């Protein structure tokens, strides 16, 4: 009964407005890690870090190419450090990165405005958009050392296990991107979306005390804020036949 009370008003709104679509998408997250104090011969990193799902709602305006949309997604926050190639050799003989995709979950609530560049009566659509979102990070662990292979040569040697510290944060993040795809049977959408997000406040920091070729170095510090690139592949349903 409680579920019926929650979903019935939403269903009535959808049926009455007759000018919207709802979609579900698979999201690939590419996260940026900022090197505050980089390791020797290291720097920023841009990594394919997470995969998740997003739910979206889009409302079309009558006699207009503009629409507004909202979406929600949840994914793991990740922070990575890349070392000089060959500086840290694992058992397989490859240069590796090490990092953390544990300890913090990110929740994103996005709102934006799209503009249709193609004609309304075409099956193919292309829509650039601009938006802003509320990004909330929530810790699942307080403070912990990272498990796995130790950083032990030939160039880098850890003095203590690497440490990742997640944080609870809330911030508004701007985004810019586009969505494109095809409409089948005037209602079913198959689409691809790409958008970039710029964030300001770190949700996780990583620290490493180490030496490089026998010399003790300043403690390395890396952080992740939520800045990154999001690639979506989704399917949606239009409750109005916008293609005549």
Per-residue pLDDT of the chain (244 residues), as tens digits, is 444 444 444 444 444 445 588 999 999 999 999 999 999 988 787 888 889 999 999 998 878 899 999 999 999 988 888 888 778 765 444 445 677 787 899 999 999 999 999 988 889 999 999 999 999 999 986 544 455 567 787 888 889 888 888 999 999 999 999 999 999 988 899 999 999 999 999 999 989 999 999 999 999 999 999 999 999 999 999 886 666 5
The answer to whether residue 191 sits within a structural domain is no
In a domain, 212, yes or no: yes
Is 44 inside any structural domain?
yes
Does residue 226 sit within a domain?
A: yes
Which of these, 234, 227, 233, 232, lies nearest to 47 by C-alpha position? Answer: 227
The model carries a pTM of 0.81
Query: How far is 87 from 40, CA to CA, in rounded Å?
Result: 10
The pairing of beta strand 45-60 with beta strand 97-100: unpaired
Q: Is residue 244 part of a domain?
A: no
Residue 157 lies in a domain: yes
Whole domain around residue 123: which residue ranges? Answer: 23-184+197-238
Length of the chain measured in residues: 244
Instruction: Please count the structural domains in the chain.
Output: 1
In a domain, residue 18? The reply is: no
Name the residue with tokens 């305006």.
Answer: 61
Is residue 87 in a domain?
yes
3-class state of residue 12 by DSSP: helix
- In 3D, which of 201, 199, 219, 200 has the Cα closest to residue 210? 219
Asked if 224 contacts 167 with a C-beta cutoff of 8 angstroms, the reply is no
């Amino acid at each position: 009964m409680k579920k019926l009370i929650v979903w019935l008003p939403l269903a009535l709104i959808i049926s009455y407005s007759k000018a919207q679509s709802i979609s579900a998408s698979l999201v690939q997250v590419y996260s940026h890690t900022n090197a505050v104090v980089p390791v020797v011969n290291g720097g920023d990193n841009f990594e394919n870090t997470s995969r998740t799902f997003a739910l979206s709602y889009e409302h079309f305006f009558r006699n207009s190419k503009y629409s507004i949309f909202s979406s929600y997604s949840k994914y793991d926050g990740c922070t990575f450090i890349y070392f000089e190639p060959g500086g840290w050799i694992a058992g397989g003989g490859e240069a590796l990165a090490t990092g953390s995709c544990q300890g913090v979950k990110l929740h994103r609530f996005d709102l934006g405005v799209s503009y249709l560049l193609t004609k309304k009566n075409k099956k193919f659509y292309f829509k650039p958009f601009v938006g802003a979102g509320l990004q909330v990070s929530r810790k699942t662990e307080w403070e912990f050392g990272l498990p796995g292979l130790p950083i032990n040569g030939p160039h880098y040697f850890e003095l203590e296990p690497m440490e990742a510290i997640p944080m609870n944060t809330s911030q508004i993040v701007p985004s810019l991107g586009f969505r494109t795809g095809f409409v089948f049977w005037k209602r079913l959408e198959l689409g691809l979306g790409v958008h970039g997000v710029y964030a300001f406040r770190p949700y996780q920091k990583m620290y490493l005390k180490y030496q490089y070729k026998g010399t003790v170095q300043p403690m390395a510090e890396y952080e992740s804020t939520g800045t990154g690139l999001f690639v979506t592949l989704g399917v949606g349903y239009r409750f109005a036949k916008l293609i005549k």
